[in-house]
Chain A
């Protein structure tokens, strides 16, 4: 297994994000039930959990895209739930967000996509914009693809362009929602290094939503495991990987049996197939 690319403790005292008593019900389903967690500054925090458990929803709460039913969400001391639109936009200018499906602007080229946040918010000389964009594209290995349109890129390349766009303004917080999907091993390793390097050299804070255990264990400082609307486990990757609780044991070993049901709730299998009551 690859060596962890982790730096020693560089967190400041107060956390960048503090969530208290978060409760969310969507379409009658409880997503979060009185969840509290903190994201320390300068660290890479991974949020993991079974599919559909609300990881992306949690990110949408943090960025103010979706208002929860209850709870307090403090980001850099600001209560996201009480911010007006202008203040929320000010906060978002300091957050980079890599969307699950990349969400590149399809009418814009790779270069224009990465330059978009710079051009919208900063009146920089075009020469400087060009240099910044090319630097970020170089970091994700796509400087040569700057003139291509999104529909000319592979899935992995689209992820990398979206990553370049998320980091182009060197934000205080970067949220990576499934950054490793579609990446080949070389790109995966480079992106892991990039996430770590960005975090450590620029003093950023990163939240990583991912399922790739090996990759997460290499780069994350701490992991939150969410399941059943609660924080099922929390700690550093090595501790959680030891599987000392039923949740972590099942999740880190990938077993179907355990506290997290593999099957979506359904009626009895034999009954649905029409075998119920049939004698052997």
Chain B
């Protein structure tokens, strides 16, 4: 039977609405069937081996024959959590390193509360990180360990390596700010907003803000990060979600990322003052003026091999702020590894997955000696 002619635009609209309805229906089915257990992150098996106050040190179970004798400690910062390094089985730096025969540890700083507001970066670096390194060295019967710092955690490991060079075999930094003002040197659209934003405040503003709130609330930092991708932040729970909602694999990937983003611990107040004032505002690290426990953190004292991994499209830690380390360390073996992707993409992106862990493993292998 012949169909009546239909206006092309109306047909397109009806077709579009039908497709949208199907998508939503499929998405509805998928969402209804999901439980929290389906959206797990950081599932690679590990055991708790050391604990002090709220800090926990975990040792990963091996997934392959050990090829590198000296253990590696992954040290994330206090903004966000290390679980990014083990987001899901097929997007996991942790798994990739384990599969390459690396003996791996990770430190979790816990969930600081108002009771922890007086903890300083000194406590984290020369206290808790020191304890972790000592425990790993004791367990592995070695005097040096390999450190792998991420973002703020990279600053922790940099400072530790400068203060205790005899206890660090190699230093691997990933997406780590060293020169907090280098965003002005290499200014790209949308990059380095945190640097600019922090400099727009007076030191007294930060003191008052921390005094008023005790800590730097995790959700506050989350809001600052969201400002860096304004439209994406505005649309992600409607438009972006609609894009993936009818594809189980993509939906789960999206939800795992959301789970990681939602886990933003508060940053202890005094440590936050140091982070924002000493480093972001006054840029003391690159100037060798930063002091911890009364000792100057001198980058020239970093004499072990250094691998500096940066993300080429990192809008949070612009590459120039990381690469400023070149020429500042005392080591004659300083290398850089620029990876495709952004601040988070470097850990979960398909391209960087193929380069990141193998690059680190090759560097470690060269300096293993065990």
A, B in one complex: no
